[in-house]
Chains A and B, each alone.
Chain A
Amino acid sequence: MSAPVLEDHAAAGVVGTRMLRREDAALLSGEARFVHDVVVPGALHMAVVRSPYAHARIRSVDVSAALGMPGVVAAMTGADLAAEWASPMPCAWPVTADMQSPPHLPVALDEACYVGDAVAVVLAGSQAEAQDAAAAVVVDYEELPAAVDLEDAARDGVLAHLGAPSNRAYTWELAPDPEAVRRAFDDAAVTVKERYRQQRLIPAAMEPRGVCVVPQPFGGEYVVYSSTQIPHILRTMLGLTAGVPEERIRVIAPSVGGGFGSKLDVYAEELLCLALARRLRRPVRWSEERSEAAQATIHGRGQVQEIELAADADGRVQAVRVHLLADMGAYLQLVTPGVPILGAFLYHGTYDVPAYSFTCTGVFTNKTPTDAYRGAGRPEATYAIERAMDALARKLGMDPAELRRRNYIGADKFPYSSVAGLVFDSGEYEAALDEALGLVGYEALRQEQARRRSDGATKLLGVGLSSYVEMCGLAPSRVLASLHYVAGGWETATVRMLPTGKVQVVTGATPHGQGHVTSWSMIVADKLGVPPDDVEVLHSDTGVSPLGLDTYGSRSLSVGGTAIALAADRLVDKARLLAAYRLEAAPEDLELSDGQFAVRGSPSTSIGIGALAFEAFTAHDLPEGMEPNLEASATYDPTNFTFPFGTHIAVVEVDTETGRVDLVRYVGVDDCGNQINPLIVDGQVHGGIAQGVAQALYEEASYDERGNLLTTTFADYLVPAASELPSFTLGRTVTPSPSNPLGVKGVGEAGTIASTPAVVNAVVDALSHLGVEDLEMPVTPERVWRSVGAAAPVPGGAR
């Protein structure tokens, strides 16, 4: 489970060790403050009146009864608030020039477009009073036909927005050589054509969202507390949308209770609290309830995928062709249209495929908007190719591990120019496969599987593989420009030493559970030769960290961590000049070790970096032209994405009599390049696996035919508990990324990307001899049981 390679690496310092987290004490003792815990005297509580219809014309909204309720200070409609907005709510990723984006206001004016769309707000002295009064707001709706099913919506039978030309948001294509794809399919010895449904998921961070906006005493300035992953992006977007000068907004993300992409957004409630605080000159806060979160916080996934593989007789894949429909929901949120595009480059997976084409059509429906959810496009891509590879293996009668091995991009081909136009940085895919096969005991499992089948057992064994590569470390700004994303992908850092030799690190990355404080202090501790506990990390507050691009897309270490390392290097460069001056030596003759600059070959002639920090602070005797203090900043714009990879293997027992699936063993071998802290890497992988397993087996945001969301509570939406999951066996290979000086790749999403197809492949594998070839997610006992009943056994019991 540990990472043997890294223990050597650790000899030089703390980087590479399983250092315990510095964040834990405050979280374990209850001292940590989440937004809901921030006490603001005199704050008004906001409640949002939401549409109970998926699609309705709003004939009138009457707030008069609500205004008469106890404690109520204000109640407002969309029309009352319309003048507050300088522009509609932002979408930062217009993926095509002709993309349609219906105007999205924080409170709807005359048309509600999903269950949960805001139609009025109430402000009162307490949350209970605000909620009571919200129930007294009378809205006259004319229910309209709703576009609910994704494929129906794509046919424009019902329009999700009145007056829209169609439900199509955009069609995006990646087809470098369509003729080559056609030829490959014409010439193929074997083809498979699969169709998969990516159900909608509710991110369900354990902390629901919360916002509190506090006007500052001197007028015109606002502190915005929000449970957000993106305080920096949020500040800019709040400024643009609410018409508040950006420099007068300070966004603070205090302790944030998980995000998984769902807090990578600019939400109506954030805009509303800001606008209402401005209007009423009082603090305004809002706390999301769980049932509200199910409707008003973005959903993930929501695709129908069609994938075709063309292979030669030996199983070598010659072409991959993909058509997607992607459910945008009712509106385009911050990066909604870009999510499928993040997967578009990866549908050939880890395989050396010469011909490729991809198209995606984004479609509006009358449902909660979708947006980035852990993995964002890459889990969908990995699911499609890994399920399709198993289908191909069955068709060829080949072991799925062998088929993968035969198709991998060879270790000698890196850096690898992919058919989709990326340059994969480094990889050794077969090593990860071998490690995973060994850890799971693959051959023995296959024997046990065969034994159970021949014994006619009702508890069948299934083994499912998933090899993945993902692109993360978002992102080179020029590449983002080519994809029409409106911002860059750099990250900033400042490292400064204080007079007493302590260190402050300022970062634009924004943790919400990832342990950044621990990891960043480890990087800086090794660079400067100080104890990690002497390194304070300042983050998540635009007042102390004015520039940054925040945390998502497994970018924080490879981009933000690199910026920190570069800033620390610059600080050391300056300290070296000062040390040389003090020691009367040439800078290049100095070695920095354990925080001491010493003259090479004369270790007794030395000075500590802490002493240098004090001298730089007093500035009594600095070299000519040197500015006081030891402080340095860096902004790092990556030159490439990073490409973590690995192989995961799920082992399931499937009860053919009840349809029950038990995940009995799970092996994940990941390669995220060098690791700063393998303890934290393990934790990221564990959580990622659990979320991917949840998609495979348990979770779905279900709608009825009228567009009512049926899964608004944890009683209906099955976030797995400890009892639904096994312990995980982890392995690791280490192939450093050549793209950044730390050699790191990122691991926040890997587990989620890998695990979903591994689990579904395992269930199908258990039942394949019965003729079962596919199961829709989530793979519930009912679906399994029905598939067993409907299946026609495969002659000879082939896999």
Chain B
Amino acid sequence: MRVTVTVNGTTETHDVETRMLLVHYLREIRGLTGTNIGCDTTSCGACTVLLDGESVKSCTLLAAQADGEEITTIEGMAAPDGTLHPIQEAFHRHHGLQCGFCTPGMVMAVASLLKEHPDPTEVEVREGLEGNLCRCTGYHNIVQAVLAAAHSGELVP
């Protein structure tokens, strides 16, 4: 079937298999491999992207469901000149990543979380990210990064 999807501001139309998942569409058709696949049960959140500004797990949507929608992936977060988004910058400054495999999904989940809770408590951050697993950081520095990003004054609501 034909789908037209805007990804990181660029709109393209492709023929895809009906059963193709959004994450495979992003990785294989659009060549955006920053979005990772870490499980097959929608548990780990490595594949989290934004669909019209809200976080979704792209392994749980069909490409067809994104037809006509706007998707933001990790590749769309930094400014065109490469300047990191404040959330990315906060992860860097607070050592909120180690192997980096969960990081793209984590950053996208944080973007959505901070949109809903611009001034979250630590508990809200921890609960808000419970759909995203990280095996390296113990979450300590991720939580610090999210709180710092929220308080940086650089996030556009």
Distance between B1 CB and nearest chain A CB, rounded to angstroms: 16
Bound CA span A767–B27, Å? 51
Bound CA span A689–B135, Å? 11
Option from A21, A29, A207 in Cβ contact (under 8 Å) with B75: A29
Option from A27, A36, A714 in Cβ contact (under 8 Å) with B103: A27
Contact B92 A206 (CB under 8 A): no
Known: A28-B84, A683-B95. A714 touches B39 (CB 8 A): yes
Contact A686 B103 (CB under 8 A): no
Contact B133 A721 (CB under 8 A): yes
Contacts of A343 in B (CB 8 A): none
Distance between A676 CB and nearest chain B CB, rounded to angstroms: 14
> Quick check: which of A164-172, A254-262, A316-324, A774-782 contacts chain B, the rest being far away?
A254-262
User: A237-279: which have CB < 8 Å to B?
Assistant: 255-258, 260
In the complex formed, the residue of B with least CB distance to A680 is: B95
Bound CA span A725–B130, Å? 11
Instruction: Flag whether B56 is at the interface (Cβ < 8 A).
Output: no
Contact B131 A206 (CB under 8 A): no
Contact A255 B138 (CB under 8 A): no
Known: A28-B92, A30-B73. A290 touches B38 (CB 8 A): yes
Contact A255 B135 (CB under 8 A): no
Contacts of B91 in A (CB 8 A): 24, 28
Bound CA span A680–B144, Å? 15
The 0/1 profile, CB within 8 Å of B marked 1, for residues 279-294 of chain A is 0000000000111000
Bound CA span A260–B98, Å? 12
Contact A258 B101 (CB under 8 A): yes
Distance between B100 CB and nearest chain A CB, rounded to angstroms: 3
Instruction: Flag whether B127 is at the interface (Cβ < 8 A).
Output: yes
Bound CA span A454–B126, Å? 33
The 0/1 profile, CB within 8 Å of B marked 1, for residues 164-208 of chain A is 000000000000000000000000000000000000000011111
Instruction: Flag whether B35 is at the interface (Cβ < 8 A).
Output: yes
Contact A27 B100 (CB under 8 A): yes
Option from B33, B77, B126, B139 in Cβ contact (under 8 Å) with A690: B139
Instruction: Flag whether A34 is at the interface (Cβ < 8 A).
Output: yes
Between A25, A255, A714, the greatest number of chain B beta carbons within 10 A of the residue's beta carbon is seen for A714
The 0/1 profile, CB within 8 Å of B marked 1, for residues 712-744 of chain A is 011100010111010110000000000000000
Contact A34 B34 (CB under 8 A): no
Option from B39, B40, B97, B134 in Cβ contact (under 8 Å) with A27: B97
Bound CA span A512–B135, Å? 12
Known: A713-B41, A721-B129. A687 touches B34 (CB 8 A): no
Bound CA span A26–B132, Å? 20
Bound CA span A632–B43, Å? 48
Instruction: Flag whether B4 is at the interface (Cβ < 8 A).
Output: no
Contacts of A26 in B (CB 8 A): 100
User: B24-81: which have CB < 8 Å to A?
Assistant: 27, 32-41, 43-44, 46, 73-75, 77-78
Contact A723 B44 (CB under 8 A): no
Contact B133 A686 (CB under 8 A): no
Contacts of B130 in A (CB 8 A): 721-723
Bound CA span A77–B150, Å? 56
Instruction: Flag whether B116 is at the interface (Cβ < 8 A).
Output: no
Contacts of B78 in A (CB 8 A): 29
Distance between B78 CB and nearest chain A CB, rounded to angstroms: 5
Bound CA span A23–B140, Å? 19
Contacts of B92 in A (CB 8 A): 20-21, 24-25, 28
Contacts of B44 in A (CB 8 A): 206, 290, 714
Known: A257-B100, A257-B101, A512-B99. A728 touches B129 (CB 8 A): no
Instruction: Flag whether A37 is at the interface (Cβ < 8 A).
Output: yes
Between A289, A687, A715, A719, the greatest number of chain B beta carbons within 10 A of the residue's beta carbon is seen for A687
Number of residues of chain A lying within 8 A (CB) of chain B:
54
Contacts of A722 in B (CB 8 A): 125-127, 129-130, 132, 134, 139, 142-143
Contact B84 A30 (CB under 8 A): no
Bound CA span A402–B157, Å? 54
Distance between B129 CB and nearest chain A CB, rounded to angstroms: 5
Bound CA span A593–B97, Å? 34
The 0/1 profile, CB within 8 Å of A marked 1, for residues 104-144 of chain B is 10010000000000000010011101111111111111111
Option from A23, A34, A713 in Cβ contact (under 8 Å) with B101: A34
Instruction: Flag whether A679 is at the interface (Cβ < 8 A).
Output: yes
Contact A714 B43 (CB under 8 A): yes
Contacts of A257 in B (CB 8 A): 36, 38, 99-102
Bound CA span A32–B43, Å? 23
Distance between A627 CB and nearest chain B CB, rounded to angstroms: 40
Option from A28, A207, A290 in Cβ contact (under 8 Å) with B107: A28
Contact A727 B122 (CB under 8 A): yes
Instruction: Flag whether A397 is at the interface (Cβ < 8 A).
Output: no
Contacts of B151 in A (CB 8 A): none
Known: A30-B73, A722-B129. A258 touches B135 (CB 8 A): yes
The 0/1 profile, CB within 8 Å of B marked 1, for residues 28-47 of chain A is 11111110110000000000
The 0/1 profile, CB within 8 Å of B marked 1, for residues 688-701 of chain A is 11110000000000
Contact A683 B34 (CB under 8 A): no
Distance between B121 CB and nearest chain A CB, rounded to angstroms: 12
Instruction: Flag whether A628 is at the interface (Cβ < 8 A).
Output: no
The 0/1 profile, CB within 8 Å of B marked 1, for residues 202-238 of chain A is 0011111000000000000000000000000000000
Contacts of A687 in B (CB 8 A): 98, 135-138
Contact B127 A723 (CB under 8 A): yes
Contacts of B134 in A (CB 8 A): 206, 722
Instruction: Flag whether A515 is at the interface (Cβ < 8 A).
Output: yes
Contact A290 B40 (CB under 8 A): yes
Bound CA span A680–B136, Å? 12
Contact A715 B36 (CB under 8 A): no
In the complex formed, the residue of A with least CB distance to B89 is: A28
Option from A33, A290, A515, A686 in Cβ contact (under 8 Å) with B138: A686
Instruction: Flag whether A513 is at the interface (Cβ < 8 A).
Output: yes
Option from A32, A36, A513, A715 in Cβ contact (under 8 Å) with B41: A715
Contact B99 A33 (CB under 8 A): no
Distance between A32 CB and nearest chain B CB, rounded to angstroms: 6
Instruction: Flag whether B93 is at the interface (Cβ < 8 A).
Output: yes
13 residue pairs from A and B, CB less than 8 Å apart = A21-B92, A29-B34, A29-B75, A29-B77, A205-B99, A208-B38, A289-B40, A290-B41, A689-B138, A713-B43, A715-B41, A722-B134, A751-B138
Contacts from A to B (Cβ < 8 Å): 20-21, 23-34, 36-37, 204-208, 255-258, 260, 289-291, 512-515, 679-680, 682-683, 686-691, 713-715, 719, 721-723, 725, 727-728, 751
Besides the known contacts A24-B97, A713-B41, A714-B39, 14 further A-B residue pairs in the complex with CB atoms under 8 A apart: A29-B82, A30-B75, A206-B36, A206-B38, A207-B101, A255-B99, A255-B101, A291-B40, A514-B98, A683-B95, A683-B141, A713-B43, A714-B43, A715-B43
The 8 residue pairs across chains A and B that have the minimum distance between CB atoms = A30-B34, A27-B100, A257-B101, A513-B99, A690-B138, A714-B43, A686-B138, A37-B33
